Structures are given as C-alpha cells and as structure tokens.
Structure 1
C-alpha cells in the first residue's frame, strides 16, 4: 500500500519569539510516576534503543548522560543500547525487524523513516505520545514525518545545515576573517582564493570548500541541498521525479565539477573526512549541521579554544534569492511490533523533553524540533544557537515520501562521480542516473 508523505517543500517557519506555554508533557522537569511505562508490579522492564549516537565519539558522552537521567527519572525502565554504526543502521534495523527482533525505539532520519514506514514497522505517534507533543512540532519537521495524515516519527534534533568558515584561512587568503560569503558567487570566489594557498606548513593540501562526493546517500542529500540554491526541485507535488527538469541540476553538477576537478574541494570525500579537514585547519568552508561545533572541538583536540578559529553563518543566498538548506534531521520511532510500547513512549517523550534537550544542547549544540523548547532562552543563549534557529526558518524537509528515497539519494551521488571522475558532462550524468531513479520510484 502506497504511503503519501505530505511534505510541504516550502520554508519551515519557526517563530522563536512565540510565547512559551508550559505543558505537562514537555516543559516540566518533574519525574513521571515511578511505574510509568513499567510493570504493574513495579519491577523494571527493559527496552532496546537502536541508535548510532552511542558509538560516535562526538555524541557518546551526551548519550550516556541522557540515558542516566532518564533511568533516574524512570526507575522501573532500563534502556539497553543497540549501538549500530550509521553506515549499517538502516539495513540492520530492517533485518532485525523482519527477523522478529525489532528494537522498542529506534533512531531514524528523513532518509531512513521513509524506508521504515514503507516496511510497516513504524507506530503512529499521536496516540502514543499525545496531542500536545504532536502539535508542538515545528511545521517543517512535522511535514517531514507525516505519512498518509499520520505522524510516524518524532522529530528529535532538526540539524539544519549552516555555513562554517575558518577565520585563519580567510585571513591568509586576504579575506576578511569576520565576513563570511553572503551569496553563492562570493562562496565560489572565496573558496578559490583559499585553495590557491596550496599547502599548509606540514605539506597538507588546503581546500577552499568541502562538498560531499563519496558514493553514499548522504552525498545525495547534500547534492540536493546545493541544487535547491540553484532553483532545483527533486519531486513535484504528486511525488513524481522532476529533478532533471530545467537547468538547476545541470548548473549544480557544473559547480561540483569546477570545485572538485580544480582541487578547490577534495575528490571522493565523505562528511566525516570533511569534518576532520575542517578540524585540522586545511578546509576553509564547510556546510554542516548544528552538531558541528562539538565535532570540531573533539576532532581538533583543542576543545572549546578551537571556537576562536571559526565562525558560523546562514547558507549564502543562491539563485532563488534566499538561504536554501535542508533539515538533516534525527528522529525517533516507536516500532510497531515492539513488546514494550508504553515504556518506549516514555523514552521518546523524555528524549524530546526540556530536560533532555538542555543536556543535548549544552554538550553538542543540538537544537530542538519542538516550538516551545526552541523558544527557550537557554536554547538561544549565544550567536551559535541564534544562527541555527535563524537557519531553520528557510530550511526545507528532505522530500523523503517514497520508501526508495534513500536509494535514490545514493544513486544521485553517482552523478558527481560521473562528472568528476568519469569525464562526463552534467547532461550525460543526468541522463544516465535520473532514469534509474525514476525506475526506483515506479
């Protein structure tokens, strides 16, 4: 049965100045009743939580704090972590669920949720979590998790992509270290000036900008993010693929070919590679999510002192005349065949609560997809937080209605390989790949 994900491709309006209304399901700090989600006899129940943040260096400490706080507030619920590396995550959850051992709660993102909903392993959340939670979701995030009129995942962390720049490299390239690019023309110009620096004192090549170019679905997401700035669109309102219509995708691939083949951006790089390069001072510009700060602190080995070496701003304005970006959102799902749904609901409610989001925000700079929490002064305490809350106003949900969206994004990453390594023109790459994507969507 086909599921239609009613995604609103327009900007995600976020009113951060809205009056905060405290509600019992989100803003409070009071622990729930001791047996909430637990056995009636008071004995603890164990729930499994499939996630990737417990096995990543930048987030494992935050994960430990969150689970410890949850278990202290819910003494009758114990959480067993199923830490799965991100690259294997979607397939492993699908295999476990098909084999009769689904996790009670699983992380997801906008690529994975479509596949999980298509496999019928997601539980609708309005009844499980309550109307207060669902009505409190930021509009763009809610649109991205709504399938056939039902909310099938709880947005946890929106992760809108913004622009990071290295102030040291800007200065060396003769650029103002306090002024990031405001337009795509400036972005390209600045990146080329930084790349012209050649190598650092250790002999490592210096790149102006980092664009994902490895063959994986996340690269496809980032290609689409760039294509939006050129006026592109992946699907129409009926879900038909229109990515190849007009000049936007052709112009985007021409940009990638120019950046990568002229060594302004590294060839074949995944996001983890680009983050490492930004952290070691050999990458001038990187467009990344709100977790960037904690990643750079950890990977640089300099901790908070590294913050002085970079800045963050909204994505430069492209052909559309506005700052185009996407939510690379982390989401939470209660699995349909899980054995501990009440306890699972308590974990999801906690992880998106005020208490949990303040922990996650303090440790990793994570923002909230809930309007009431995003408006809190504690979530807007510095320029970093304000930039990402501002970026959410023009971030679009990924058009992930089709269960094959993740596969389509991986296929689309091949277009970058074809133009940068296969010596193909943008038109040839589009003809080769888009036909495959359209076949997937049939």
Structure 2
C-alpha cells in the first residue's frame, strides 16, 4: 500500500512560518479582467499610494511538472496587469498541503491566498482560516459560479472558497490495448457493465512484450483521501449516498457502498486493476500502454502527452468519453475541484481578492485551458467558444452537467474520506467481506462527524 507521509507538525510550523511572512503594507488592486471591484474595496486607495504589496500564494501547481509552466505564465500576466502587486509562491506538495497551511495559519503566518479543494475547504473553514467571499468578490462573480461548484463551497450559507477549475472526471480509453484485446478501438463502452467487461478482456492480455503486467482499468486503492473520493464516486454509480439532507451519515444504507466494494475486490484481487495504486501511479501506466482505461480529470491530455514521451502524437492512441452510466442511471462523477481561498488572517485582503479575481478571469482561464485543458467553474467563461474548441473540451463540459459536488460541509470530511479507504484494504488485502468492512469502518466515520 502507498501511504501518505505524516507531517512533522513542529518542523512545518517553523519552516512555513518563515516562508509565509508577508512584506509591505499598502498597494494596488486590479482584476486583470472585466469584473468590478467589490464595494468597500481598499484596492483603489492603495493604488494611489504607488507602493508595492507582496502577497503570498500557497499552492501545489508550482511544484508539479505538469502545471509549472501554466503557473509561471499566470503569475507573469497578473503582475504585468497589476504592477503594484507582487506574488510570492509558497509551493507545497499536495500530500502535505492541508496540514502545512493549517499549521502555518494557526501559528499566525497564513498565506494571503491559498489553493484548496473540495476536501480542504471545509477544514479551512472549520479552523477559521478561510474568509467568506461574497463582499470581497462581489455578487456578480459569486452568481456566475456553476451551480454544482457553488454548492460545494457554500458552508453554513456562506461561500468560503472561489471555485477555480472544476476537474470533472471522464473516461479515457487506450486504443492500442482495445485493439489488442479484440475490442473496437474507436468505440468506448456505453454502459458500466460494458466497461467492466472490456476491462476484463484487456487484463486477460496478461503482460506486454517486456513482461510488464497489463491492467484493464485503474482504480485508486491507496490510503489517502483522494482514494476515498473515488470510492464515493463509485458508490454514486451504484446508487449510494454519503449523507442525507441533514448531513447525517447514510453511507452504509442501501447497497451502493457494498456493491462498490465488491467491484473493487473483484477488480483488484483478479488483477484487473493494480493493488494499492495512487493516481500518480495510474497516469504513467495509462500513458505507457499498461492500463486500458482510467477515469481522470481534464488535465489528463497534458499529463499523458508528457508521460508518454510522444507529445501531441500520443493523442491518436487514446480517446475520452463521459463516464458510462451504472445502477444510478446517469453518468456519475464528482468535482475534484481546485479552489481558491482568501485567508482570514491576510493583511492584504483587497489585493488577495484581486488576485483571485484574476485567476478565474477570462484571460487567466485562456492561459490555463490552452496549456492544461482545464475547464472554468464560471458559467460565462465555460460557455465561451474558446473553452469548447474541440471534442476533448466538449466531453468535459458535458461531464460537468452530471458531476456532483462533494458532500463536504463537515470539517472532518477529508478525514472521513481517508478513513473510508480502510474498507478497500480490508476487502482486498484483509480477506473481509464488504459487510464486515462497512460495519467496522462506518461507525468510525460517524464518530468523526459527531
């Protein structure tokens, strides 16, 4: 099993406190787009002073190979449009991100702006790290958020993060392996059962010419919260639900979770999917013809081009389509969303808000979409022709229509998702039945939520 490394909290507090100390006390605002400044914004007064403000931005995209170039171009464009605001990057690996931001903020040195996602934002809100955004961003921008994304960042009636890139997951299929398995390489599976059958045929190929194992589909099996998110996605496919309308845990009710665990047990134990895999393991496998199918986000094309070593030429070897419908009767996926938080401890909230406005603006999304294929969480931008320029973009915009927000209002949601992966370990490595795994783990999740 692949496990998240635990963060040494004291060391993190010291090192991050030093790196996140902001400098300067006045500056300018400027959105870099068409959005008007929110009422009461101090950015205009700061602009008159001519002084430069440095804001800190905690993020993981500046330290990941697939997104470094996009990050550099975004910062350069923002600083060109806003010469009185300097952005200092605090790059943190994703696996350590939530803990480091929480520790640094608790120590009195929060970043001005922090990346977040559907798992982290409830924890940031619960720890009072996140600032409500309605007054900072303005109602026009808040009202422009895609409904599913807005629901995922609204906690106790307040918008606590600005959705940036929604990342709905779609189904990628490897045409080379489809052909070798006797499947039509130009026809992806139309139903969930068709997908499972195709995965079994591809896995039956056994090994490639170099003796490396070939798997039919990649399902996450590591002990991390992202794997918990993907288990929840499977449960939705099988008709399950995590919480009811009042926020009470109902994950163990019905057969959705049990059916999901049975599917994973069969897939992993019969070597249709690799054991204990993280997404960072599955992506290069797909790009190197060791994995027949993978449900992944809109940045997949950029990743696969790079990991295959073939660049754009690799596009001929795979296709992408919406996730096949299962027991629920619809194409089920979830927003594995990148979000943006203005911290409550920021000394430069006006400038931080201008940076957030820029990152979700038309200009910024044009850069990010061109380089990484990401979609926009804003209705007005998602509908633009340049965001729907090819079949690839259209698939993900179509997938957004049935993507579900994470039921993540509880600050312990991220913890619950990680604990839920114990059920996968129990059924795939511990010899337990799904019923035994559910009866052992769900009470622990319910205890977390008390």
TM-score bucket (shorter structure): over 0.9
CA displacement at 1:268 relative to structure 2:
0.4
Say if 2:425 is the partner of 1:405: no
CA displacement at 1:75 relative to structure 2:
0.2
SS at 1:436 equivalent: helix
Give unpaired runs (5+ residues) of structure 1.
1-23
CA displacement at 1:28 relative to structure 2:
3.8
Higher relative contact order (CA 8 A, sep 6+): 1
Which residue in 2 is equivalent to 1:300?
A: 308
Which residue in 1 is equivalent to 2:280?
A: 272
Which residue in 2 is equivalent to 1:228?
A: 236
CA displacement at 1:362 relative to structure 2:
0.1
CA displacement at 1:414 relative to structure 2:
0.9
Correspondent of 1:383 among 378, 382, 391: 391
Q: Distance in 2 between matches of 1:127 and 1:257?
A: 48
Which residue in 2 is equivalent to 1:436?
A: 444
Q: Is the 8 A contact 1:161 1:326 kept in 2?
A: yes
CA shift in 2, pair 1:136/1:36, >3 Å: same
Q: Distance in 2 between matches of 1:332 and 1:229?
A: 29
Say if 2:428 is the partner of 1:420: yes
Q: Distance in 1 between matches of 2:89 and 2:227?
A: 28
Q: Normalising by structure 1, what TM-score? A: 0.92
Matches within 5 A, 1:15-414: 28=34, 38=46, 40-414=48-422
Q: Distance in 1 between matches of 2:44 and 2:363?
A: 17
Q: Distance in 1 between matches of 2:407 and 2:302?
A: 28
SS at 1:165 equivalent: strand
SS at 2:119 equivalent: helix
CA displacement at 1:300 relative to structure 2:
1.3
SS at 1:257 equivalent: helix
Q: Distance in 2 between matches of 1:215 and 1:155?
A: 26
- The one-character-per-residue Cα deviations of 1:311-361 (angstroms, maximum 9, x if unpaired) are 000000100111011000100000001011111011000000000000000
Q: Normalising by structure 2, what TM-score? A: 0.91
Q: Is the 8 A contact 2:283 2:304 kept in 1?
A: yes
CA shift in 2, pair 1:321/1:274, >3 Å: same
Q: Is the 8 A contact 1:37 1:342 kept in 2?
A: no
- The one-character-per-residue Cα deviations of 1:178-213 (angstroms, maximum 9, x if unpaired) are 111111110110000000011111111000000000
- The one-character-per-residue Cα deviations of 1:1-46 (angstroms, maximum 9, x if unpaired) are xxxxxxxxxxxxxxxxxxxxxxx97864999xxx758564212110
State how many pairs are aligned.
418
Q: Distance in 1 between matches of 2:31 and 2:343?
A: 21
SS at 1:432 equivalent: helix
Give unpaired runs (5+ residues) of structure 2.
1-29, 38-42
SS at 1:315 equivalent: coil
Q: Is the 8 A contact 1:29 1:354 kept in 2?
A: no
